[in-house]
Structure 1
């Protein structure tokens, strides 16, 4: 955070309610990216590409943004100390790292492109400092501590400073990286409506399933209807921000194709463009139905016999095999929106 980076002050950060439950902090060298808002994705990848240090990965930058602001650009996320924007820069720190990276004529910590590229620049510089410092330990931990508490504090203590906030900051970011990582299998090539939809869907891998949750704008909390949305006997959907299967499909195609909300309605809206299983292409919608013929599940075909789907309560959006995603006998067919 910029205020601590210059002055060693501690600033209240927004807590990620799920960050302690995922990942171990030991991995994170992969260059894939998942589970981030679409408007952040290209800038995170660009920031990563511009940094020569392998320790700075898309997943690390995404986890850091999530810890700083939950990817928020709302003015209400300005900290009491004056840190601004999705990467929480203080004005004085912004003067050092901020640029008009999105070329809209203004350099602003509230602009996604400007903020993320500045964050990447600062983290890249801190990583270089950590490598040349002679201080032992995980380079990522040292760089993150420098971002939060200031590099001077890292040098003073020869490692992560003994500040509760800084130690929590480093721990939460490294432990939550896993949910922002994507495997090379998710690289989507080509163009067109289907490829673009799949690319958008794959960017949400790792997002929780939430019955009734999700909209064309992104993940939302869902609801329980007496049968669905429950986990271990309790209503999970009402406090889980995520997608269900059909909202993921709707979100992925919106606004180029404005699909209806439910899987059954989506099949009805696209049934005039059926696709045989042998002819499936990335982005095609695949459907499953129960014995009465009612559609109960939809997913996006990802190529090579795989799909991207929001499976069920308690699980996350995932890349999985088409053949085993749902009961084989329930496979209903596929369409091309």
Structure 2
């Protein structure tokens, strides 16, 4: 959500019709669908920390046009799921993953995550506020009688203010604000299939391994970045003279993603705080080896050029003879057969964190 052009503020103030608050929203304490798979609740390609809140925000809205994928696609357009002040503050001072300006946040923000503060930087607070506002805008769009898709009208109201939707009797045209609102609506609706489930991996069972695999599966499609990735999510990496290059250029320094070991660290954090690099992850878990014919989802698999001191790759067992891993520069996080993930001769063994 952005203030589009400073010169239009006076006009907006004159024509904006206040968004009507939606009463009677029930906040759910949990949603079992959220942990079924990468596509839990009909949702995929969403970071694990966002998924339960998207599902709660969707469940709290009675409007059928609201879907988890709509909220996810909108978040992608707003912030690319970023949560830091450096990465998720716009030129118009829109803040947080759902990009609320302070005046609008004062209307929609609540302490939904129960941490004692109401902040657009808290994922739970931001996503529930996004859901409340979108739900109200959908209701208003359907009552308006304008001919556009209610989802398009609601998205336009979120981006530009409902007053501009009233002014144009629909989504503002490409000539408005250099096409920002028009493009915003088009891109979000066009990207919906990217976030619609089911996901690529179904994970059954409970425990730290299954939970870690579910979390890692939310990052399928994330680029590989040598040296990139933290327990909080993807980040840019670096090149070391040998690794991180693509077509002669340092790809890692401009790519936000994971390498093989940071993906595993991210997947198990906070439940198990594994070290950062693959050889150290092997050292931290080598006292719990697992035979290849006894692998369980979430087990760690290692490849080496010769001995524990030469481990160069780590993956997570995904069941059915497959692994989930971040393979190499130029590739994305993916699911592939164990037998072909890396050279078979280099397979060193498996452990269970």
What is the TM-score of this pair, normalised by structure 1?
A: 0.79
Q: Tell me the alpha carbon deviations over residues 178-201 of structure 1, each in whole angstroms, 9 at most, x when there is no partner.
A: 665553453544432212322321
Quote the Cα distance in structure 2 between the aligned partners of 1:226 and 1:181: 40
Quote the Cα distance in structure 2 between the aligned partners of 1:273 and 1:98: 46
Are the counterparts in 2 of residues 33 and 182 from structure 1 also a CA contact under 8 Å?
yes
Q: How does 1:1-337 map to 2 (within 5 A)?
A: 1=1, 8=12, 31-36=42-47, 38-53=48-63, 55-70=65-80, 71-74=82-85, 77-79=88-90, 81-131=92-142, 133-162=144-173, 163=176, 164-174=179-189, 180=195, 183-290=198-305, 294-337=310-353
- 3-state secondary structure, aligned to 1:173: helix
Q: Tell me the alpha carbon deviations over residues 183-229 of structure 1, each in whole angstroms, 9 at most, x when there is no partner.
A: 34535444322123223212222321101111233222111223321
Quote the Cα distance in structure 2 between the aligned partners of 1:223 and 1:8: 45
Distance change >3 Å, CA 279–CA 128, structure 1 → 2? farther
Q: State the number of aligned residues.
A: 316
Distance change >3 Å, CA 289–CA 114, structure 1 → 2? same
- 3-state secondary structure, aligned to 1:186: coil
Q: Tell me the alpha carbon deviations over residues 103-130 of structure 1, each in whole angstroms, 9 at most, x when there is no partner.
A: 3344433332121101012222333444
Are the counterparts in 2 of residues 83 and 89 from structure 1 also a CA contact under 8 Å?
yes
Are the counterparts in 1 of residues 85 and 95 from structure 2 also a CA contact under 8 Å?
no
Structure 1 unaligned runs (5+)?
Answer: 10-27
Distance change >3 Å, CA 113–CA 210, structure 1 → 2? same
Aligned-CA RMSD value: 3.2
Distance change >3 Å, CA 74–CA 157, structure 1 → 2? same
- 3-state secondary structure, aligned to 1:68: helix
Greater CA drift, 180-189 or 105-114 = 180-189
Deviation at 1:305, TM superposition (A): 3.1
Deviation at 1:165, TM superposition (A): 1.3
- 3-state secondary structure, aligned to 2:336: strand
Quote the Cα distance in structure 2 between the aligned partners of 1:246 and 1:177: 31
- 3-state secondary structure, aligned to 1:288: strand
- 3-state secondary structure, aligned to 2:137: helix
Quote the Cα distance in structure 2 between the aligned partners of 1:59 and 1:140: 12
Distance change >3 Å, CA 33–CA 292, structure 1 → 2? same
Deviation at 1:257, TM superposition (A): 2.6
Quote the Cα distance in structure 2 between the aligned partners of 1:101 and 1:325: 42
- Structure index of larger Rg: 2
Quote the Cα distance in structure 2 between the aligned partners of 1:327 and 1:131: 57
Distance change >3 Å, CA 185–CA 133, structure 1 → 2? same
Structure 2 unaligned runs (5+)?
Answer: 14-38
Q: 4+ runs of 1 displaced by more than 6 Å?
A: none
